[in-house]
């Protein structure tokens, strides 16, 4: 029993140290988001919120292209409120201008929190070259 309590104590210390380290380290993550369904919209904002809640200082950019652009289109998104809250924490939501052109979406149709980038893949590649971690987001 004593050994079990000691082991649990040691594990608790390592767990707490890991959480503290995650909070102190600056995480920079670029998300590649191409899913057009509302369940995927909810998943990506849930993941971003969880990261921000744990770290408090992560730098996140969610690059939306292909069907994923719908998450940033006013009349198609189901997560505008969540995006607005994350945007207050400096989470960036980027719409691909090439996808917008191909799908006939004008900037005025995007939610106000969205920025645009010329080509999603180049934005993601630039972030990776700058040392950001890459996540292919889906549920």
Tens-digit pLDDT profile for residues 10-34? 445 445 445 554 457 899 999 999 9
Asked if residue 38 is part of any domain, the answer here is yes
What is the span of the domain harbouring residue 117?
A: 26-137
The answer to whether the pTM exceeds 0.85 is no
Residue 12 lies in a domain: no
Residue 34 belongs to some domain of the structure = yes
- Kind plus residue range of the DSSP H or E element containing 120: helix 120-129
Contact between 134 and 30 under an 8 Å Cβ cutoff? The reply is: yes
Please write the tens of the pLDDT for every residue from 56-66. Answer: 999 999 999 99
């Amino acid at each position: 029993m004593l050994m079990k309590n000691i082991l649990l104590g040691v594990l608790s210390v390592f767990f707490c140290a890991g959480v503290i380290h995650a909070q102190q380290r600056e995480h920079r993550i670029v998300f590649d988001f191409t899913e057009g369904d509302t369940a995927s919209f909810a998943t990506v904002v849930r993941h971003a919120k969880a990261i921000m809640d744990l770290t408090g200082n992560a730098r996140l950019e969610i690059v939306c292209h292909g069907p994923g652009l719908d998450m940033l289109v006013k009349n198609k998104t189901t997560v505008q409120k969540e995006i607005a809250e994350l945007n207050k924490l400096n989470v960036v939501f980027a719409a691909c201008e090439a996808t917008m052109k191909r799908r006939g979406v004008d900037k005025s149709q995007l939610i106000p929190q969205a920025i645009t980038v010329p080509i999603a893949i180049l934005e993601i590649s630039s972030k990776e070259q700058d040392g950001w971690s890459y996540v292919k987001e889906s549920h």
